[in-house]
């Protein structure tokens, strides 16, 4: 009897000792950005996003215009060196990149400090089958989050891939409330894991439009045209043409490796698709909107608002720095709007000099371009249409019915329709962003 009790006490002591000595991960924002393993338990990831008015090139930037290091200061939103009022999440533009593992539970507290503005956050790419009330569509799935109140989103990150979070108010999103949502899979579940060596959390490219005036409305002028954005930002940074004062976003890569990059077009006041290109490098496309596809090698990517793409970049060029460019497509108007960033091989210094030359020579004149705009660009020679790309996964069984009960046609050709409402010309672009 005493022997059995001693055994139980001994086992209990061993278990208690193991539990005591086992480190418990902190359930915080940063602890969820980790290597994902197949047998690990999902984590509860707590995130706090504070929505508030802010300023680009504020006092936090110091002497950013002459000292590039000052532009890297905390809460410095440098953009293109133009100062104006913006809206931010956690005083960042873009907002924090939320990176978790598949099936992690996201608990996000939204603190709305926007005076006189209700808000809601949409989680683009997450189907919210378990929690439809967490989809973030105001007056549909939830009441808007009133000023100076807090709302908590809680849902499972069940759809892996590259996604977005953003305000479901078009003007709030255009003014800065958006960010990336990355849901990684364990290596054994990632279908393209053997195609790349490095999946760096910093290799997330977020394209956004930038206006020098706050975007509180989308009314057109007397000619029915909405004012174009001044330029496109990559991860919140950009330069005006012939202006080399402001720093660009820099993506560091290791020579001789295969890097996985994730690019997303977060949009803005307009709905014009953009073309993405890395000079002297081709891209191996492996996923669209978070869904894996059969690998396809291209030189350019065309993305509409809200679309995302994953690609693999082989760093086989000489050690140097290369220009990353993004431009609006030609069908949006006679003049294009662009932006740029820098791809920098790791052997170089940490910072790029403002006057240091950047390689801008293209791979070849007849470059292959993947486009998601079937109406305007699919007939162009050298373009690969999104309808020609094959997914790795088959359609769910419930979508394979030979005959549908109802057929609904949606126009997604990015055409422009002008309508007169109350004497004001308002331009509507037919798009599939919302």
Assess contact for 271 and 431: CB atoms under 8 A.
Answer: yes
Query: Would you give the end-to-end CA distance of the chain in angstroms?
Result: 70
Beta-bridged to residue 341, according to DSSP, are: 324
Q: Is residue 183 part of a domain?
A: yes
Q: Left, alpha or beta for 397 (phi > 0: left; psi -120 to 50: alpha)? A: alpha
Whether residue 420 has a cis bond before it, omega within 30° of 0: no
- CA-CA distance, 322 to 242, in Å (whole number)? 18
Q: Is residue 114 part of a domain?
A: yes
Q: The domain that contains 275 carries what CATH number? A: 2.60.40.420
Q: How many CA atoms lie within 13 A of 51 on its CB side?
A: 30
Q: Is residue 23 part of a domain?
A: no
- pLDDT tens for the chain, 434 residues long, are 666 677 767 777 776 666 555 444 444 455 688 899 988 889 999 999 999 999 888 888 888 887 878 888 888 888 888 888 999 999 999 999 999 999 999 999 999 999 999 999 999 999 998 999 999 999 899 999 999 999 999 999 999 999 999 998 888 888 889 999 999 999 999 999 999 999 999 999 999 988 887 766 544 444 445 566 778 999 999 888 777 778 889 999 999 999 999 999 987 766 688 899 999 899 999 999 999 999 999 999 989 888 999 999 999 888 888 999 998 887 676 667 888 999 999 754 444 444 444 444 443 445 687 777 666 567 777 778 888 888 888 877 777 777 777 887 766 554 444 444 444 444 444 444 44
Assess contact for 233 and 210: CB atoms under 8 A.
Answer: yes
- CA-CA distance, 173 to 188, in Å (whole number)? 36
What's the pTM?
0.81
Q: How many domains does the chain fold into?
A: 1
Q: Is residue 359 part of a domain?
A: yes
Q: Is residue 244 part of a domain?
A: yes
Q: Is residue 271 part of a domain?
A: yes
Q: Is residue 110 part of a domain?
A: yes
Q: Is residue 177 part of a domain?
A: yes
Provide the domain limits for residue 79.
Answer: 46-388
């Amino acid at each position: 009897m005493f022997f059995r009790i001693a055994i139980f006490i001994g086992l209990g002591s061993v278990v208690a000792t193991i539990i005591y000595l086992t480190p418990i991960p902190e359930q915080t924002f940063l602890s969820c950005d980790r290597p994902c393993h197949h047998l690990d338990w999902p984590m509860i990831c707590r995130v706090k996003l504070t929505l508030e008015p802010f300023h680009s090139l504020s006092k936090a930037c110091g002497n950013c215009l002459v000292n590039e290091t000052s532009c890297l200061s905390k809460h410095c939103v440098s953009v293109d060196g133009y100062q104006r009022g913006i809206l931010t999440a956690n005083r960042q533009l873009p907002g924090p990149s939320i990176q978790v593992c598949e099936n992690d539970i996201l608990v996000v507290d939204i603190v709305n400090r926007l005076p006189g503005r209700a808000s809601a956050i949409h989680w683009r790419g997450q189907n919210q089958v378990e929690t439809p009330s967490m989809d973030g569509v105001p007056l549909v799935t939830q009441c808007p989050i009133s000023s100076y109140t807090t709302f908590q989103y809680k849902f499972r990150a069940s759809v892996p891939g590259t996604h977005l979070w953003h305000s479901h108010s078009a003007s709030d999103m255009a003014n800065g409330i958006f960010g990336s949502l990355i849901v990684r899979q364990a290596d054994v579940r990632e279908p393209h894991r053997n195609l790349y060596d490095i999946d760096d959390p910093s290799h997330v490219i977020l394209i956004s439009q930038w206006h020098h005036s706050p975007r509180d409305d989308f009314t057109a002028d007397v000619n029915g045209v909405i004012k174009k954005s001044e330029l496109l930002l990559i991860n919140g940074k950009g330069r005006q043409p012939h202006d080399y004062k402001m720093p660009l976003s820099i993506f560091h890569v290791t020579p001789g490796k295969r890097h996985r990059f994730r690019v997303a077009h977060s949009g803005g006041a307009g709905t014009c698709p953009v073309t993405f290109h890395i000079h002297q490098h081709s891209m191996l496309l492996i996923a669209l909107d978070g869904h894996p596809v059969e690998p396809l090698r291209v030189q350019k990517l065309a993305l509409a608002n809200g679309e995302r793409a994953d690609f693999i970049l082989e760093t086989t060029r000489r050690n140097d720095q290369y220009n990353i460019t993004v431009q609006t497509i030609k069908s949006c108007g006679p003049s294009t709007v662009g932006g740029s960033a820098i791809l920098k091989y790791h052997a170089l210094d940490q910072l790029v000099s403002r006057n240091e030359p950047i390689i801008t020579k293209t791979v070849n004149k007849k470059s292959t371009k993947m486009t998601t705009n079937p109406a305007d660009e699919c007939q162009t020679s050298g373009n690969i249409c999104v309808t020609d790309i094959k997914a790795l996964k088959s359609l769910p069984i419930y979508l394979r019915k030979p005959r549908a009960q109802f057929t609904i046609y949606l126009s997604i050709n990015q055409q422009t329709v002008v309508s007169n409402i109350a004497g004001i010309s308002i331009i509507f672009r037919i798009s599939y962003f919302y």
